[in-house]
Structure 1
Amino acid sequence: MNEITCKCGHVNPEGTELCLSCGRTLSKDAENRKTADVMRYEGMARRSQTYNLSIIDKIWNFFSSVKVGVWLIVTTLIASSLGTIFPQALFIPQGTENVYYEERYGIAGKIYYVLGFHDLYSSWWYLLLIGAIGTSIIIASLDRVIPLYKALKHQRINRHESFMKRQRVFSDYSVESPEKTIAQIRERLEKKRYRIREEKDHLLAEKGRFSRWGPYINHIGLIIFLIGGMLRFVPGMYVDENMWIREGETMAIPGTGQEYFLKSDGFTVETYEQGEDPEVFNNTIEREGAIAKNYQTDAHLYQREQGSIAGQQGELVEVQNGAIQVNQPLKFDQFALYQVDFRQDEYLSMSFNMTNKASEESVGSFTIRFDEPQKVYELENGYSVELTEYFPDFSGFEDGEPQSVSPIPNNPAFLVRLFSPEKPDGEVAFIGIQRNVEPLGENDYALEFAGVETRDVSGLTVRKDLTLWILGLGGAVFMIGVVQGAYWNHRRLWLKKTADGRLLAAGHTNKNWFGLRKDLEYVFDSTGLEKPVDHQEENLNRNTSADAKEENNRDSTS
């Protein structure tokens, strides 16, 4: 690493713009730049502006750029917005993603699926973008905060005259007793709670240095927040699953690893009745119809015993029972079950009579349960029905073959073979709702619909989120950084007695120059001296006066 030796003899690292000892400018570039720009990092060398040789240097320089960070954020926001064009995979029938998007949205849907936008927030390239943003924040912060910390930690009290003159707030005083004046100023600065450091006839007063770390506290909060977001893709840290459970059914709760099971005792829908609360509901009920009062699933929660085989009812131990209502979830072991949806009157079973067409007499009846269909239903006197094929959600014929669009019994249909003493080889029939087809010719026996049994289905959401506290911590740290950087500022005043007895005063702040000027006005009031001049304000006033004078001259000439 090359070094730069200042005229004062101090050796500075390569890339340093202001001598860390006396404050002289060390490069022509720093000489030509605005003082505020040079003072941003106290003129300290930054790694990204010093090295560019190895591949590590190039990667570091790339991610340390603020422009790169902004573009990464913009790219991520654009990608996130594209993920809202069509529904995410979570909201469509599971297992149908490869055909759903193309059938529903055409070529645009196919492109959407191929590029991975259907499962955007868990796709590898989206996670890579999030990781790149985190890397950019970390590297950009380290590239700036380390040199800034070193420069502020080891500030020199005695600054060169050229450093003082380069400050925006600066004045050169001729006083009889500089030591007495410095003592008076020090007393006033202490009342303003400035931290005072002195060295011979030189003084450095500062307060609010901690505000300089506000932006980097922001970055720490963002990094914590991003870590919390990425941890959601770690198994066991985050669960957001849907489950549909039917009345009387016991099923494993998704996301619990077959450890917890839920049994539904029944689902209840309650609505407000006319007259129940006339002032609130009567007009609405007349206008809109029924208004929901309560959706509720009465359930039992079971836990599988250690070492048992998953799903065996005899090895499940009841943990708790109660009602799952909207906004009143069932909570257990960091999980919560929310009532979010329901389906009423789903088919549970259908009953049929097998009758002789000629005599119209019934030779027996049987019931098909859709959750446990049997292969053969034996009737009396040698009659039986064989269930050849079952189509839970019959959608029609394709190339002469019956089709089912889902495993849910929304429109059940059956291909059966009817056996009787007269027809020991059986007769083929296709039975459905308002459908009785005999594909191989007219049969002697037929199935007649005898009744149906329905049940309600509860739609529940299983939630587990171990990252919430991390996200909350990240947000809290971020807000601390915002407050720290927004409501405080780093103010400094340098006083220097020159060899010829003059007193130099220079001030600097990272923002809120008005506040610094007010402090200096109070501090210098006791000395009888004018407060140090804000040269930028002075130049602005001078230009404004010149413009006003020129305008007045034009008006006089006119």
Structure 2
Amino acid sequence: MKEIKCECGHVNPVGTVLCESCGRALTSKAKEEKLHDMRYEGSARRSQTYNKSIIDKVWNFFSSVKVGVWLIVITLIASAVGTIFPQKQYIPSVLPPDQYYEEVYGFAGELYYTLGFHDLYSSWWYLLLIASIGVSLVICSLDRVIPLHRALKTQRVSRHESFLKRQRVYGMTDVTNIDDNLEKIKKKLKEKKYKIREENGNILAERNRFSRWGPYVNHVGLIIFLIGGMLRFVPGMYIDETIWIREGEKKAVPGTKDEYYIENKEFTLENYDNKDKEVFQQSIERVGTIAKNYQSDVVLYKESGKTLPGEKADLKMEKEDSIKVNHPLKFENFAVYQTSYKLNEFKSMSFTFDNKETEKTFGEFTVDLFDPKDKFDFGNGYSIELMGYYPNFTGFDKNGEPISDKPVPDNPAFLFKMFSPEKPEGEISFVGIRKNLEPLGENEFKVSFAGVETRDVSALTVHKDLTLWIIALGGAIFMIGVVQGAYWHHRRIWFRRSGDGSLIVAGHTNKGWFGLKNELKGILEGTDIRMPEDQQEEQKEKQGVRRNKDDGDNNGRMEQ
């Protein structure tokens, strides 16, 4: 059977519990109920009707509220675990992530990396969890909102008496003049903004039906919110990268496909001085120096034409600006923020080639710490070869080899080989800051430190977010759904003429039963119609009386 025909003539989808039109119970279980379950108006839900094909099983799985809750719980737990160790973008760039997590955090760090928690929000399984929550929201909503909408739209004014008797608020009154009383009732219903429908002398008063769609509006907002969050992983939609750019250096802006370049002309740092001590006296005494302002004076360039791989880009200046904290450089959909800085980073170091005994200098040379030359020739047979460069020298390993843990020249050291007519085979010298070692024995010549050139470095964060409006839209729709479902209640009141000349009054609301009963009391005031009873409260009272009676009988037996 693909459909069920009720006695009233309405054809219902298979799986319908209560007739969408008259409300008759269509199943034996519904006929035995003392009160009808009105959550979805007894409508046919796909998840409770079909369970044969794979599509049915997938639909039924994701339509479960428990499954949706568990998916959210698992995602929250995964997000919490992702905060135990720092994410990949916040670890030092000295070591690759797999090596870093293992060396710093041991087995826990290795497991953390293997399971993908180091890059949690981009891992395939985390994205799959987010997508599963979205699928669950869509299927849960469709499984409920479509049959609910159909049932509410199809409902007749004249509902069957068995339907009205199984409403929580129900009562029957013998009235001699029903028409006069109904006229008074309709007037009061209109004052309370009820929408009134009449059929065969019966009345259906309904208000705030739109509040029933509040939870589904929530779901729509959440789905849009999740879509916005997942779009951040689409290339070009979201960028949040930090570049370190030195004074005089020019770099491509991340996310622009090398279309835009930025040059750091000069970095400026201003500290609070003695004039400001009256305001910052305690802070200055505690910390020493406090930054008043730090900024990078930059120039933005745009590639004027397409270049072939390996060719130098032809750049055209777009704008010149100063980037300060909370005052970014903006262009197109990008914003470049000043986030940090580093003062006096080594740029180059100068040395002299000397005779140790006579202190005669045969030449001076400069090593560019970011692009060092391999050899320096001074003529007449004197030259120096750079055999090894260690930007951040930290010591020697077990084999006596120098170690550098990162490419930034914070503590540069060099291994030189010195050639001269007296020593044509060369002499080895290891030179660093406050270090001048002769690893193969005493040398006749030496490399002496002559000077250093430094420059400041700016940390600029490039930010682009094309998903923000989608996330904001989803959040706004979600809040509309919250307000819609929380502050309005769907209320319905039925007035039906019975065959014996009495009047049936029944009421239903999706929440706020006290408000419905109080409102109904005011509507019936001044009429001959008796206030209906709350059948659920009546059942509880009967159960309480029965329980008290049983307790009294048990106490009597114990006394005997």
| TM-score bracket relative to the smaller structure | over 0.9
C-alpha distance in 1 between matches for 2:268 and 2:308: 32
Question: Which residue matches 2:129?
Answer: 129
The C-alpha deviation readout for 1:458-501, integer Å capped at 9, x for no partner, is: 11211111111011000000000000000001011111112222
Unaligned residue ranges in structure 2 (runs of 5+): none
Q: Distance in 1 between the 2:265 and 2:256 partners?
A: 21
- 2:339 maps to 340
1:406 equivalent in structure 2: 406
- Can you list the C-alpha shifts for 1:52-75, whole angstroms capped at 9, x where unaligned? 111110000000000011111111
| Alignment partner of 1:255 is 2:255 | yes
Correspondence for 1:243:
243
Q: Distance in 1 between matches of 2:528 and 2:274?
A: 84
Q: CA deviation at 1:547?
A: 9.4
Q: CA deviation at 1:538?
A: 4.6
* 1:87 corresponds to: 86
What's the C-alpha RMSD, in Å, of the aligned pairs? 2.5
> Does the aligned pair in 1 maintain the 2:181–2:529 contact within 8 Å?
no
Give the count of matched residue pairs.
553
Q: CA deviation at 1:297?
A: 1.5
Greater CA drift, 371-380 or 139-148: 371-380
Tell me: CA distance 1:111–1:33, structure 2 relative to 1, closer, same or farther (3 Å).
Answer: farther
Map of 1:390 onto structure 2: 389
Report what 2:10 is aligned to.
Answer: 10
Q: Distance in 1 between matches of 2:167 and 2:287?
A: 72
Shift of 1:316: 1.2
Write the distance in 1 (CA, Å) between the matches of 2:47 and 2:112.
39
SS in 2 for 1:276: helix
What code does the residue aligned with 1:197 have? R
- 1:367 is matched with 366
CA distance in 2, matches of 1:543, 1:56: 45
Q: Residue in 2 aligned with 1:443?
A: 443
Question: CA contact under 8 A between 2:307 and 2:313: conserved in structure 1?
Answer: no
Q: Identify the residue that residue 97 of structure 1 maps to in structure 2.
A: 97
Partner Cα separation in structure 1 for residue 33 and residue 372 of structure 2: 84
The whole-number CA distance in structure 2 between the counterparts of 1:348 and 1:291 is 26
Moved more, 399-408 or 27-36: 27-36
Residue 147 of structure 1 aligns to a residue whose secondary structure is: helix
> Structure 1 CA distance, aligned partners of 2:29 and 2:300?
72
Distance 1:394 1:271 in 2: 31
SS of equivalent to 2:138 = helix
Change in Cα spacing, 1:72 to 1:442, as seen in structure 2 (3 Å) is same
Is 2:383–2:418's contact at 8 Å kept on the other side of the alignment? yes
Deviation at 1:310, TM superposition (A): 7.4
Paired residue type of 2:167: Q
Q: Report the alpha carbon displacement of residue 540 of structure 1 after superposing the two structures with TM.
A: 5.3
CA distance in 2, matches of 1:152, 1:508: 13
Name the CA distance, whole Å, in 2 between partners of 1:232 and 1:324: 26
TM-score by length of 1: 0.93
- In the TM superposition, residue 86 of structure 1 has moved relative to its aligned partner by 0.7
Amino acid aligned to 2:486: A
Deviation readout 1:276-322 (Å, 9 max, x if unpaired): 250x2112212332222112112111112231357976611111122
Name the residue aligned to 2:28.
Answer: 28
Distance (Å, rounded) in 2 between the aligned partners of 1:343 and 1:296: 12
| 2:41 aligned partner | 42
CA distance in 2 between partners of 1:107 and 1:460 (Å): 35
Structure-to-structure mapping, 1:6-405, within 5 angstroms: 6-33=6-33, 35=35, 38-94=37-93, 96-278=96-278, 280-309=279-308, 315-379=314-378, 381-398=380-397, 399-405=399-405
Superposed CA deviations along residues 498-555 of structure 1, whole A, max 9, x for unmatched, are 2222111111111111221232122212424333322334555677899999999x9x
Q: Contact 2:196–2:206 at 8 Å: present in 1 too?
A: yes
Map of 1:457-536 to 2, 5 A cutoff?
Answer: 457-536=457-536
| CA deviation vs aligned residue, 1:119-173 (integer Å, no higher than 9, x gap) | 1110000000111111111001100000001001111111111111111111111
Q: Provide closer, same or farther for how the CA distance between residues 487 and 117 of structure 1 changes in structure 2, counting only shifts above 3 A.
A: same
Query: For residues 216 and 34 of structure 1, what CA distance do their matches in structure 2 show?
Result: 29
Distance in structure 2 (CA, Å) of the matches to 1:357 and 1:459: 43
Contact preservation (8 Å) 1:274, 1:285: no
Are the counterparts in 2 of residues 258 and 311 from structure 1 also a CA contact under 8 Å? Answer: no
Q: Specify the SS of the correspondent of 2:29.
A: helix
SS in 2 for 1:62: helix
Q: Indicate conservation of the 8 Å contact 2:220/2:477, yes or no.
A: yes
Contact 1:14 1:45 in 2 (8 A): yes
Deviation, 1:108, is 0.8
Give the AA of the match of 2:212. R
